[in-house]
Structure 1
């Protein structure tokens, strides 16, 4: 009887070892670990447009920390990834083909390939309670009345004091009226300022409408971008 039990135990151990040593088990385990990491720790994204050049290039693979804002909030200068809401007119139709849907769902889960998510990457220029306006005497963005240093900005709108500024006709498209950011919301801009569909795109110039600022809800911010991982030549943290 004892020998029979011992044989049964040996068979169970052998079966367990074959299962955990199999290719498919290890592949599923790898996918599981990737999914957990992406859901709770870091998430891999691909930069979709040139609005953040030269800080980020189209197609750059970047890692975003989901833990960066636990116990803290985004600050001015942070590069963040956020879910595009209907406010941004960026909502994406979900595929109706079940196979395409499944492939994109899996891609979003493990961070490899296309996904169902529609996310954007921009830089925070103002947070809740802060007031923004443009421009100062030299064309700088003002946050709470102080000029914002933005060495990373390229391709900005033309601003020449006395020639093309906020008092000329036509005024510089860099100019925007004063706006105080509501609670739990953020104003975000692209580093390639004139090539960015961002918070202020509808506010620039003399024809801007009221309530033109489109903010990002705190709940829509996925996390803080902390490094580029591909291509190797772009490896490193973004300027800021």
Structure 2
């Protein structure tokens, strides 16, 4: 083949490889809001949001999300606003998103707090979440100082929920997850979509189906000065089996 023909073939092969990698192995996403601060940052401008890399093989076959994993999942039902769900709004961005070289919209990034069978509760005397009765120390999270169900001595709480001083998730159903953002005062997560104890006619559903999970966040890739690997914390190691 001539040089230009070889060039076309190489470009086509590169695109095919990128599509396969996106579909089965690694994909880029952006953080659409402030809900995962301080570790992952987002805001009103997609251009300045953190970019994360999500790997998919961990949840193949019998693999399932574990407590403490930061996961990306598709919107389980009106959790996202219009702007957050939109994704790239230009032709180049849309084309690159198809092959996994530009983050997609329509997804959320949260931390798994409860897996099937767990009961998540807010809070102990130190303002910590409890999972199956075990209090969780969460150094990665930004606590709330308002809307709290039992703050610690500094007025901080790691499990806020509007309108309720104490809450319990109920048992997480099979095939579902209870998720929360690390920025506990500013995250439209499972706690916001959970019915309060005083509501008798409530259709909110706090669970995220495991089938909606795209994969596990393993790295912060951009901006480069903050790039790092992201690991599952040890905070949940002592949680008893439900």
Instruction: Check whether TM > 0.5.
Output: yes
Distance 1:102 1:138, change over 3 A: same
Aligned residue number for residue 136 of structure 2: 148
| Aligned counterpart in structure 1 of residue 210 of structure 2, from 205, 208, 218 | 218
8 Å contact from structure 2 (residues 119, 172) kept in 1? yes
Secondary structure of the structure 2 residue equivalent to 1:68: helix
Quote the offset at 1:201 in angstroms.
1.3
Aligned residue number for residue 32 of structure 2: 48
TM, length-normalised to structure 2: 0.75
RMSD: 3.3
Quote the offset at 1:85 in angstroms.
2.7
8 Å contact from structure 2 (residues 32, 84) kept in 1? no
| Aligned counterpart in structure 1 of residue 222 of structure 2, from 209, 212, 230 | 230
Where do 1:190-201 residues align within 5 Å?
190-201=181-192
1:61 aligns with 2:51: yes
- Equivalent pairs counted in the alignment come to 215
Distance 1:163 1:150, change over 3 A: closer
Aligned residue number for residue 22 of structure 2: 38
Distance 1:81 1:49, change over 3 A: same
Question: Whose Rg is larger?
Answer: 1
TM, length-normalised to structure 1: 0.76
1:127 aligns with 2:119: no
Distance 1:165 1:93, change over 3 A: closer
